Amino acid sequence: MKPLIVGHLFPDYLNIYADRGNIAVLARRAAWRGHELEVRAVGAGAQIRPGEHDLFYVGGGQDREQALIAPELAALGASLHDAFEAGAAFLAVCGGYQLLGRFYRDQSGEELPGIGLLPLYTVAGTRRMIGDVLLECELEPATKQTLAGFENHAGRTILDPGAEPLGRVVAGFGNDGKSGYEGCRLGRAIGTYLHGPLLPRNPWLADWLLAQAIAHRTGHEPELPPLTDELERQAHAVSARRAETRGGHF
């Protein structure tokens, strides 16, 4: 099969807390199942051909970096919407998650345009929400999973009525420290505040994203052979315990 194409949005600007590590996990888990991953940087003025990319990834960043690229990312908005409609998967982390919504009003009060793919907007508050996080998720009906990671954001993200969060907060702040929910899921698009990086300690989500990307490429949902994931399970357990003992809250 041809390689799976991953579009890494603005990799030189949005990449904190080793968010780039998420790509390494996707590439390795794909290879263990006989799939090659080809990662292409997508930046200012990029041509995004419909159907070219199976998965888009965007990491986190400080307000300064977000302000530098937001207009350029917004300019790619129509093509990214087309790619989403054509079935491409998305993983967006923290600052990247905020810019997949309608806008992010940053700590200076400046309103940074988003691409309006996810049904949400974000406004920075004065106190940062920092700490370990644990979520309960159900991406597939009757398949509950936990997601463990680390958050550090000033932004408070407000989902539109009826929008689907990524998960229920078991420990930590989540989208706004009040709603009890974290992240947003829209079809094959996932947005979250969870850094870490996220995927090494949550292999089920890495496999879910890979399955979406392969489904985009082949037209049908694959059965990915299970992996042992012993180290991943231990990393998840440590992260989950940290969140339960010292996750943030107001």
Asked if 191 interacts with ligand GLN (CB under 6 A), we say no
DSSP state of 116: -
| Residue 101 makes contact with ligand GLN by CB under 6 A | no
Of the pair 7, 196, the CB lying nearest ligand GLN is at 196
Closest by CA position to 149, among listed 187, 111, 182, 107: 182
Instruction: Pick between residue 149 and residue 155 the one whose CB is nearest to ligand GLN.
Output: 155
179 touches ligand GLN (CB under 6 A):
no
Nearest CB to ligand GLN, comparing residues 95 and 203: 95
- The correct pick among 22, 58, 63, 201 for binding ligand GLN (CB under 6 A) is 63
**3-class DSSP assignment, residue 105:** strand
CA distance 242 to 150: 10
Give the Cα separation of 165 and 185 in Å (integer). 6
Residues near 247 by beta carbon (within 8 Å), at least 6 away in sequence:
131, 132, 133, 134, 170, 171, 172, 173
Looking at 4-12, 40-48, 61-69, 158-166, which segment touches ligand GLN (CB under 6 A)?
Answer: 61-69
Distance CA 247, CA 229 (A): 25
Nearest approach in angstroms of CB 101 to ligand GLN is 12
DSSP state of 15: -
- Say how far apart CA 223 and CA 207 lie, in whole Å: 10
Smallest gap from residue 179 Cβ to ligand GLN (A): 16
Pick from 60, 196, 200, 247 the residue near ligand GLN by CB under 6 A.
60
Instruction: Please report, as ranges, the residues that interact with ligand GLN according to CB under 6 A.
Output: 16, 60-63, 66, 94-95, 124, 152-155
